[in-house]
Amino acid sequence: MAGPITVTIAGITGKFAGLLSKHLLTKPNISINGIARNPDKVPKELANHSQVRIFQANADDETALRAALKGSQVAVCCYLGDVKLMEEGQKTLIDACIAEEVPRYVAGDWSLDFRGLKLGDHSQKDPMKLVQSYLEEKEKETNGAIKGVHILNGIFMEIFFSFAHVMDISNIEAPVFNAWGTLDEPWEATTYEDAARYTALAAADESAVGFLNVLGDRKTTRQIAKEFSEVYDIEAKAESSGTLDELRSKMSEEYKAEPDNPRRWMSYFYCYYMMNGSTLLRSVDNESYPEFGKCTTFKDMMERTGSPKALSKVAFM
**Degrees (nearest 5) of the Cα angle 4, 287, 31?**
20
Between the CA of residue 196 and those of 16, 45, 282, what are the distances in Å? 7, 18, 20
The pLDDT assigned to 310 comes to: 93
CATH 3.40.50.720 assigned to 5-152: yes
Calpha distance 245→188 (Å, rounded) = 21
The pLDDT assigned to 1 comes to: 53
Find how far residue 172's CA is from the centre of its chain. 30
Find how far residue 162's CA is from the centre of its chain. 16
Residues 6+ apart with CB under 8 A from 3: 29
What are the domain boundaries of the chain? 5-152, 157-187+218-280+298-316
**Degrees (nearest 5) of the Cα angle 256, 86, 19?**
115
Give the residue from 194, 201, 180 showing the smallest Cα distance to 298: 194
Which residues is 238 bridged to in the sheet? 177
Between the CA of residue 211 and those of 21, 38, 115, 130, 310, what are the distances in Å? 21, 31, 10, 15, 34
Residues 6+ apart with CB under 8 A from 279: 112, 113, 114, 116, 117, 273
Tell me the whole-structure pTM to 2 decimals.
0.96
Please state the length of the chain. 317
Which residues is 149 bridged to in the sheet? 106, 210
Per-residue pLDDT of the chain (317 residues; tens, 9 = 90+): 578 999 999 999 999 999 999 999 999 999 999 999 999 999 999 999 999 999 999 999 999 999 999 999 999 999 999 999 999 999 999 999 999 999 999 999 999 999 999 999 999 999 999 999 999 999 999 999 999 999 999 999 999 998 778 999 989 889 999 999 999 999 999 999 999 999 999 999 999 999 999 999 999 999 999 999 999 999 999 999 999 999 999 999 999 999 999 999 999 999 999 999 999 999 999 999 999 999 999 999 999 999 999 999 998 76
